[in-house]
Amino acid sequence: MPDITTQSRDMATSGHPLDPLAPDEIRRAAAAVRTAHDLGPGMMFETITLREPDKKVVEEFQPGAPVPREAFVCAFDRTNGKVYEAKVDLVADTIVDWHHVPGVRPRILLDDITLVGEVARADPRFQAALARRGITDIDNVQVDPWSAGNYGLPDEEGRRLSHTFCWYRTEKNDNGYAHPIEGLCAVIDLDRAEVLRVDDYGAAEVPMQNRNYASRYRKVFRDDVKPLEIVQSDGPSFTVEGNEVRWQKWRFRVGFNAREGLVLHAIGYEDNGKLRSVLHRAALSEMVVPYGHPGGGHFRKNAFDVGEYGIGVLANSLTLGCDCLGTIRYFDAWLADSKGDPYKIENAVCLHEEDFGILWKHTDLFTGEVDVRRARRLVVSSISTVGNYEYGLFWYFHQDGSIHFEIKATGILNTAGLKPGEPPDYGTIVSPGVYAHYHQHVFNMRLDMAIDGERNRVVEVDTVAVPEGPDNPYGNAFTIRETVLKTEKAAQRNVDFNAARFWKIASAGSRNALDQPTAYKLVPLSPVPMFSGQQSMVAKRAAFMTRQLWVTAYHPEELYAAGRYPNQSSGGDGLPAWTAADRPLVDTDIVVWHSFGLHHIPRPEDFPVQPVTTAGFALHPVGFFSENPALDVPPTKSSMSCC
């Protein structure tokens, strides 16, 4: 029988300074803010989350010692749109700081997602536009809430908005994305719960072919899929204590919050009895999905799914045998709703091991002796549903000291209809009358590096051909050119295929047995060029996608590549604002920001539900060790004869 052992625990234990907020802490933070600064009946909580302590506090923490705990709170008043930030001391239950943040909009809340459809369907203008398309059964209209962006429209100024697109469902479980209602967009004022405007760009016939994918609609399945059993009769090789995970010399802490979702802290590797630091913190800082159609309301499709919605808020409760397979350890997540009450996402994070093929192998040509080791990797994952798309965040830890990150994108294509005579210049026909637009998914990962400590530098490594001549008489020579990225402006870099470019993060003071600086290299596996115009609003708001590499001097408040409040922002926040100071980066505490993604030219095979497609990057040790660190991995019992 397959091993289906599972365990689950709350991440909110409050036993360590980096533990996420416990339910009681969420309640107390909300109560403290309400008591001191009650905004009245329109008061909403956008965020109640851990305010992470200084690095020194984490470094010096001893188990059993008092734990400093602070909450960051963002609250706003729906009656006037004013946004406030608070810092709450959870030990003393006091407000340390409270201030108004002018000119920003909080993210779209879970409450808003339901509200948008109800408000749109009740509006007479929206109903009339549907009637012009022959649709009168209003309850069957699916209304998706998109962030509105910022296009300088006077009637939208000062409002917190959602811009909608619509589909038709023939019944409750029907795949509405097979039936786009083209050209109809309602602009919803979220705080006033009213339709600001109905934009009708012209109708197209609603495609009505059934394109359902769920098992309830399938009558025939493959009959040659045999069971694949994952058995760990002695249990997994990892151990979990609180939120700390230990596996194959790796050690790290699991965290989670409403905005970034899965966060990893204090990543280190045990080497000869010493725990060596690699990363202080790693999390998805932002993402943007720019679509390439210029008209019909589609020009507004460029959602910032982290900062405008929250990947953590939209996390799935993972299911054994479907999302995760084997001997599983789950972590539950506690978040705050808009009223400041805690709620739990069960099984928000999954931890398990996987076989990963060959780790290393060699056959001696002269003796025939074979040495081979099988690899396994530790997987830490979370999956979020953002409207039509699912995004899986997968961290992989390997026995050779490397770390890989992978986004797994699946779900359903965002579809549109074709107007009469319209050529499909900006997308692919994936079903009769159903048009899937060209688009990109651009992610930005914030990597707070700590290679053998906080004093690090970033080195750009290019491979260059040696000019033919006396030093290269046969034309075969090539070497590397290393450039230290000394300041923030100099460290805004892109990949170079012709130079096989990568970036090395090196320790300022630690060297290996070969007298080389200890380092890890960032390998850009999924770079994507930007096709939006340099002066487009999406390029201004998502400046992070213009470069695959940004490096900043560490600052505890600089967490999100597009700034803390990207919703309806006018641009320039985040990385471009911070790096304008051009701070020095050599042998100091630095943060690496890597932009990568998916360039999606849809295929018919991506519909009606999209097979997983992936994007990611790797962190490989470069001189962090003095030899292959996986030499001590034992041979498997079943292969002793060849190992």
Looking at the annotation, which residues are catalytic? 305, 389
Comparing C-alpha atoms, which of 4, 524, 13 is closest to residue 244? 13
Residue 253 CA to residue 110 CA, distance in Å, equals 28
DSSP code for 206: P
Asked if residue 467 has a cis previous peptide bond (ω within 30° of 0), the answer is no
SS3 25: helix
Measure the CA–CA gap between 603 and 427, rounded to whole angstroms.
Answer: 9
Tokens of 23: 């339910």
85: left (phi over 0), alpha (psi -120 to 50) or beta: beta
The C-alpha atoms of residue 280 and residue 385 are separated, in whole angstroms, by 28
**468-495: string of b/e by CB count within 10 Å (b at 16+)?**
eeeeeeeeeeeeeeeeebebbebbbbeb
Both tokens of residue 585? 């980066």
H or E element in which residue 130 lies: helix 124-132
Identify whether the C-beta of residue 72 lies closer than 8 Å to the C-beta of residue 19: no
Among 100, 90, 104, 92, CA closest to 48 = 90
Antiparallel, parallel or unpaired: β 94-101 and 161-168? unpaired
Which residues have C-beta within 8 Å of that of residue 201, sequence separation ≥ 6? 182, 183, 184, 185, 295, 296, 297
Q: Which residues neighbour 244 within 8 Å (Cβ) at sequence distance 6 or greater?
A: 16, 251, 252, 253
CA distance 492 to 488: 7
Query: Nearest 5 degrees, angle CA 312-CA 318-CA 321?
Result: 155
Please list, in sequence order, all residues whose beta carbon lies within 8 angstroms of the beta carbon of residue 280, skipping any fewer than 6 positions away: 55, 265, 266, 267, 448, 449, 450, 454
Q: Beta-carbon neighbour count of residue 139 at 10 Å?
A: 8
Distance (Å, whole) CA 293 – CA 299:
6
Counting beta carbons within 10 angstroms of the beta carbon of residue 269, is it exposed (0 to 12), middle (13 to 18) or buried (19 or more)?
Answer: buried
- Longest Cα pair distance anywhere in the chain, in angstroms? 84
